Every structure is written in structure tokens, then in C-alpha cells.
Amino acid sequence: MEKTAPTSDSAASPSTASTGTIDKSNQRVRQMFGEIAPRYDAMNHVLSGGTDYYWRRYTIRKAPPQGDAPILDVCTGTGDLAIAYWKAGKRQIPVVGSDFTEEMLDIARDKVESLSRTERDASIEFYQADTQELPFEDNRFQIVSVAFGLRNVADTLKGLREMKRVCQPGGRIVILEFSMPGNRVLRGAYGWYFRNVLPRIGQFFARNSQSAYNYLPETVGQFPYGEKLADVLREAGLERISYTPLTFGVATLYIGYKPKGDVKS
């Protein structure tokens, strides 16, 4: 069920999205995702039961490309959402994916090359970049999206403000992120699975020195969702914020708009 976030500023300290208890330093996150990159896609599909495909399709339906302005997907990882937007634009709308883990981007580039006649024909590019310091000019992109990567940004609010800066006035910020089910029983069962089952399966198939699949439930458990994350989006300067829980609340899609008169942020 889609919910439109109220416009009041009643929530306390939205900036607490940036937690200090989990090591989300650039060095740790880059090394961790670099180590699991070769098996990242397969593990995500297995651990989500294939629902990650549905979540991305739903995201495109709710926030489709409009016009011919480019689209940016930050924390793009292996590029699945960026490529989905590229296909939705019939490979005519320029799409850019950014991530600071080069091993992930190499996989994304390989995917695009396998889908296009030649790499030069593809109107999609991938750049190594930190979401907190995007190397793009102001007001460039019609959509700035992120799928399951916002919680990995060390300073969430700074990352959101950068996403807003490069978005066109009137454009959309689209966030697909893990969340916790609203039902108490489901939330308890899901939390148990995340803490006890997922780390063991993930670590077995994608061994790494940074315990990536322990990091995942830790970040999901501490990252705000629903109305609390909507408050963070509002603090970043976005408006007309809505959010839709998916698959019993395991994931949530958030959409916010950059104000039309905002050309200097």
C-alpha cells in the first residue's frame, strides 16, 4: 500500500540515518564489495528468492523515464537498476551508473556489452564515484535512483543532498531499500533469518574478510525506513514524498521530488 508522507517536521533528529556503530568507511565498504563482486548477483537472487527482479520492475513502473534527459543510478553495484532503466528508455535515454567499487562496475560493463551489438552503441556508462561527492554538474538528471545502496553511504544525508543537487528541478529521487515488515510476527521471523541464516549462507558462498553478510543485517536493522526515512528525505530538501512497502515490507520504494524552483542546490 502506497503511503504519502505527511509534510510536518515532527520527527526527531532525522539525521540519525548515519549511524556510528557500524563501520561504513569508504575503505571497508569498497574492499568488502570488491571481494564479493563475482558472486554478488547470484547470492542476491538466491537470498531474495528472486523477488529482487520484481522490485526493480515495480520501481520502473512507479517512476518511469519521461522525456529524453539522462538518468543516474548511484551505488549501482553490478548495474541491475541502471540497466533496467536503460531498457525502459528503449536504450535511447542516456543512463549513467556510479559506484566506488571498481570490481562491481566491471561486471556492470560486461552485462551491457553482452546486451548491445558493440559497447560503443550503448547509451549507458559507468563511473567510479562516491555518492557523497558526485562528479556531475548541477540539475542534470531527470531521475537519480539508488537500489539497496543508500544504507551503505557513510553520511546518508550528505549523499541524499548530492543526489538532489544533480537532479533536475522537478525531477525525482527514487530509492529502493530494504526495510522491516510491519507485522510483528513476520518482523520477528525475518529478523531471525537475517541474523542467523543469511550470514552463514552468504559467507559460505561468497567468502570475504569483511563479513559482508553479517554487515547486511546490521545495516538493515539500524537504517531508518518508512516514515523515518521519509523525514530524512524531507530534511535533504525533497518534497511530495511517498513510500510503498513491498513483499510484506521486506523492501520499500521511496519517491521524492526536487522542488521545481530549486536550481542552486
Cell of 182: 510491519
Q: Which residues of the chain have pLDDT under 50?
A: 5-20, 209-210
C-beta of residue 179 within 8 angstroms of C-beta of residue 250? yes
pLDDT at 197: 78
pLDDT at 9: 34
pLDDT at 23: 61
Global pTM reads 0.85
pLDDT at 3: 57
On the 0-12 / 13-18 / 19+ scale of CB atoms within 10 A, 106 is middle
89 vs 7, 84, 118, 201, 240, CA distance in Å? 32, 9, 18, 36, 24
pLDDT at 160: 98
pLDDT per residue over 139-151, tens digit each?
Answer: 999 999 999 999 9
What contacts 184, CB < 8 A, 6 or more positions away? none
Superfamily (CATH H level) for 20-257 = Vaccinia Virus protein VP39 (3.40.50.150)
pLDDT at 155: 94
Q: How many Cα neighbours within 13 Å face the side chain of 95? A: 30
pLDDT at 196: 80
